[in-house]
Amino acid sequence: MTDWKKMSKDELELQYSPSRWSHRMSAGDVIRAHVAALKSDLPLVIYFHGGYWQFLSKDESGFLAVPLVQKGVVVVAVGYSIAPKGNMDLMVSQVRRSVVSVIQQYSHISGLYLCGHSAGAHLAAMVLSTDWSQYDISPQIKGAFLVSGIYDLQPILSTYVNEPLKMNEEVALRNSPSHFLSQLKVSSSSCDIIVAVAQNDSPEFRKQSEEYFKALESAGLKVSFEDVPNTDHFSIIEQLVDENYHLTKLLLKMMGKS
């Protein structure tokens, strides 16, 4: 190997000009292609975790990233102040602000998509129902993947679920996505929505998903319903680690990555 001290200025510049060593294209072209690749737009999925608004966190939310990242999708898991520290109004406000923050942070987004499970599906649906005129930005959400969610909070007011949440009827009503269909139609009219439910979810959970789907459909929104066989409330989301799982394929198809 030649001693660099014995090289001429031109030889040194050649050795330390990586663009001139590419076999793919000319030096100028390879730099332009590199800049374009770094600036290329990518679809971005924001994931909202479940846990009945009182368990889990964003730290347990990376499981679905692998099959999506492999296909060139950016995945961001957001957290929120679970009960009893946080109340429902606060959690809804936090996830809405998180969406705004993510959009401001990631400038090269070809499409913004939401995915939520259980309580996270409820929060994703509340994001879809946001009046964005109150915020600095109006996100163009292209798709939402709502998995085994609760869309009317009134039935859980008298259950153990509400003990740490301490919701009254007024709080439950103003945080129930099923009561904000007109606002959703304004803010997310062009959004593709998939409402999914597990075959072995409880009859009430299944009813919540079916009724929310029908309400969205009646409102003229772009929505489809997925009744996922051989799954329960937990396995329906756990299997998103598998690139061959039906819902993983649907999520990728929604983003044009199938």
Q: What's the pLDDT tens digit per position in 86-127?
A: 899 999 999 999 999 998 888 778 889 999 999 999 999 999
Domain 43-254 = CATH 2.40.30.20: no
Catalytic annotation, pick one of 110, 179, 233, 235 = 233
Indicate the pLDDT class of residue 40, thresholds 50, 70 and 90.
low
Nearest to 216 by CA among 151, 153, 163: 151
Catalytic annotation, pick one of 61, 118, 148, 209 = 118
- The answer to whether the beta carbons of residues 122 and 156 sit under 8 Å apart is no
- pLDDT(37) > 70: no
Residue 118 known to be catalytic: yes
Nearest to 191 by CA among 110, 254, 247: 254
Catalytic annotation, pick one of 98, 176, 201, 209 = 201
Task: Name all contacts of 153-159 with Cβ < 8 Å and 24+ positions apart.
Answer: 153/88, 153/122, 155/204
Reading the block at residue 56, the tokens are 């889990």
CA distances, 155 to each of 24, 162, 173, 200, 248 (Å): 62, 10, 11, 19, 30
User: For residue 125, what pLDDT is reported?
Assistant: 97
Domain boundaries, given as residue ranges, for the chain: 8-40, 43-254
Burial environment of residue 255 by CB neighbours within 10 A (0 to 12, 13 to 18, 19 or more): buried
- The answer to whether the beta carbons of residues 182 and 212 sit under 8 Å apart is no
Residue 29 known to be catalytic: no
The three-state secondary structure class of 79 is: coil
- pLDDT(39) > 60: no
Full-model pTM: 0.85
Residue 23 known to be catalytic: no
